Amino acid sequence: MSSPRDPTYDLVIIGAGINGAGIARDAAGRGLRVLLVEQGDIAAATSQWSTKLIHGGLRYLEQYEFRLVRESLAEREVLLRCAPHLVQPLAFVLPHEPHLRPAWMIRLGLFLYDHLGPREALPGSFGVDLGGGKWGAGLKPRFRKGFVYADARVDDARLVVQNVMAARELGADVRVRTQLTAAKRDGDHWRATLSGPPDVSADVTAKAIINAAGPWVKQVRDMINRSPARENVRHVKGSHIVVPRVHAEAHAYILQNADNRIVFVIPYQDRYTLIGTTDVPVDAFEEPRIAPDEIEYLLALANTYLARPLTAADIVWTFSGVRPLYDDGAADPSAITRDYVFRIDTGANGEGGPAGAPVLSIFGGKLTTYRRLAEHALSELRSYFPRMGPPWTLNRPLPGGDLPPSGLAGWIDELGRRYPALPAPLLRGLAHRHGALATAILREAKTLADLGEDFGEGLTAAEIDYLVREEWARTGDDVLWRRTKCGLAMPEADRERVAAFVARAVAASGAASRP
């Protein structure tokens, strides 16, 4: 194990998105000395802007991505088991549109989806009559026939944070708001320069670097190698809109469009519906925003199916993320592989020059497959770390994931019994966000007042203090949009109150000057 004062590591991991976080956890658990470096907040980039699904990827079957679908289906089971507070089953209804895909094709696809990977926690697919019943809720009456299959939803940003917490528990050093600005190969070691809060900028040494910089992967790779690599990353923006709930049932819809794409309509945060996504190739990938034609596209598709038409005035929030895909030469951005690809550079010049310390760069990937991606990345580096332990994450719960056998619902009931005077929505929110760790926030509280200032939407001072102390939260946005989604329904004045409280909590804890 390495302390912040001991700047020698086995692995320096660049980027605390889902891939960097997952590798940090896995590697630390195998006994490697790990440093995880993130230039912004944890999950500050693509990993917080996903469609928030842990899914096999039904549509990838049409692209013959069987490896990816099989691995994703298997990982769906693993994550339902290991993070039951963050990952929950979600039923999807596919309304039948015979002119887009014939019924036999959908049945075949769903048969494969049901059988390509292990499926213990979730039911198999089936056909339904949409007329009048719950499965057609909110749809135009012309949709009579549909298909139901199961996938899962996830709190994407929290999945990342809880992997980083697990990595720290296992001995990893974590530096947020710290950027890798240079790295120089020195034989079988790297000397990496980090730039962070003023008093902690530092040089560290490491045996290997993992470049999990997401959309910045090529930039970081070229900076480290000091010459441009042949492989490129394709930046493909995906945007979502959030509107008030379009139906009262628990299921989501998967809607087919005439351009062959699909869009999800997903119940979100009790009161809302999340609609997305788009596929737009972009050059500028920092701070992505939804464009007017993406809004039009999503509204038009939703309105093809929904009985009550949506307009731009219904939109309460939008967000966009950029997929860092491996450039496989596909012309259609929807067809570029979503599978992950690794590239290892060792400094050998291709003409028999000596190989030095490795940097492994990650292209593509899904939230769903992050755990297997971590295992594969570490097995690629095994020859550099012969004493590294074996894979271990398959059945280990993430922090907060060790719920009682009755699962999340049982845990929420249990919290209700233990804290009878606290509002049920507050307990439910804490259980979803923190799982078994909710009691580290609630402690001995008897009344709401015992949790300190109440900011509404289930957010209290006690939780913010915990997020600053245990989860690296440093700003109002870290709390309102990543550690929680309380910002969504909160009036601006309350959001400002939260930001001011976070600033005071950070100053009081001295966290601002700590990485």
User: Would you list the DSSP string of 290-312?
Assistant: --HHHHHHHHHHHHHHBSS---G
Q: Are 309 and 224 in contact (CB under 8 A)?
A: no
- For tokens 């390495």, the residue is 2
Contact call for residue 46 and ligand FAD (CB under 6 A)? yes
Q: Which is nearer to ligand FAD, 125 or 368 (CB)?
A: 368
Contact call for residue 14 and ligand FAD (CB under 6 A)? yes
Residue 406 tokens read as 């009755």
From the CB of residue 417, how many other CB atoms can be counted at a distance below 10 Å?
A: 7
Contact call for residue 51 and ligand FAD (CB under 6 A)? yes
Question: Could you tell me where the DSSP H helices lie in 358-452?
Answer: 370-380, 407-418, 424-434, 438-442
Return the residues of window 411-440 that contact ligand FAD according to CB under 6 A.
none
Contact call for residue 18 and ligand FAD (CB under 6 A)? yes
Q: Are 244 and 271 in contact (CB under 8 A)?
A: yes
Contact call for residue 164 and ligand FAD (CB under 6 A)? no
Stretch 356-385: interaction string toward ligand FAD, x if CB under 6 A: ------x--xxxx-----------------
Least separation, in Å, of the C-beta of 497 and ligand FAD? Answer: 27
Contact call for residue 58 and ligand FAD (CB under 6 A)? no
Q: At what angle do helices 18-29 and 370-380 cross, to 10 degrees?
A: 60
Nearest CA to 209 among 468, 384, 396? Answer: 384
Q: Which stretch binds ligand FAD (CB under 6 A): 11-19, 90-98, 113-121, 452-460?
A: 11-19
Least separation, in Å, of the C-beta of 485 and ligand FAD? Answer: 15
> Can you tell me which of 19, 125, 393, 484 binds ligand FAD, judged by CB under 6 A?
19
Q: Are 175 and 35 in contact (CB under 8 A)?
A: yes
Of all helices (H) and strands (E), which one includes residue 462?
A: helix 461-470
> Can you tell me which of 10, 26, 38, 494 binds ligand FAD, judged by CB under 6 A?
38
Stretch 250-289: interaction string toward ligand FAD, x if CB under 6 A: ---------------------------x------------
Q: Which is nearer to ligand FAD, 33 or 76 (CB)?
A: 76
Q: Are 238 and 277 in contact (CB under 8 A)?
A: yes
Least separation, in Å, of the C-beta of 473 and ligand FAD? Answer: 15
> Can you tell me which of 27, 45, 172, 422 binds ligand FAD, judged by CB under 6 A?
45
End-to-end CA distance of the chain: 17
Contact call for residue 238 and ligand FAD (CB under 6 A)? yes
Q: Which is nearer to ligand FAD, 142 or 226 (CB)?
A: 226
Contact call for residue 50 and ligand FAD (CB under 6 A)? yes
Contact call for residue 321 and ligand FAD (CB under 6 A)? yes
Angle at 180 (CA atoms; ends 177, 183), nearest 5 degrees: 165
User: Would you list the DSSP string of 235-268?
Assistant: EEEEEEEEEE-S-SSS-EEEEE-TTS-EEEEEEE
- Residues binding ligand FAD: number (CB under 6 A): 39
Q: Which is nearer to ligand FAD, 310 or 322 (CB)?
A: 322
Return the residues of window 217-236 that contact ligand FAD according to CB under 6 A.
220
Q: Which is nearer to ligand FAD, 220 or 262 (CB)?
A: 220
Least separation, in Å, of the C-beta of 450 and ligand FAD? Answer: 35
Contact call for residue 47 and ligand FAD (CB under 6 A)? yes
Q: Which is nearer to ligand FAD, 277 or 460 (CB)?
A: 277
Q: Which stretch binds ligand FAD (CB under 6 A): 18-26, 112-120, 350-358, 422-430?
A: 18-26
- Residue 476 to residue 202: CA distance in whole angstroms: 27
Residue 492 falls in which region: left (phi positive, over 0), alpha (psi -120 to 50) or beta? alpha
- Residue 500 to residue 476: CA distance in whole angstroms: 7
Of all helices (H) and strands (E), which one includes residue 129?
A: strand 126-129
Q: Which residue is nearest to ligand FAD (CB)?
A: 17
Q: What share of the chain is helix, strand, coil (3-state, %, to 5)?
A: 40, 25, 40
Least separation, in Å, of the C-beta of 95 and ligand FAD? Answer: 20
Contact call for residue 11 and ligand FAD (CB under 6 A)? no
By CB under 6 A, name the binding residues for ligand FAD.
14-20, 37-40, 44-47, 49-53, 179-180, 212-216, 220, 238, 277, 321-324, 362, 365-368
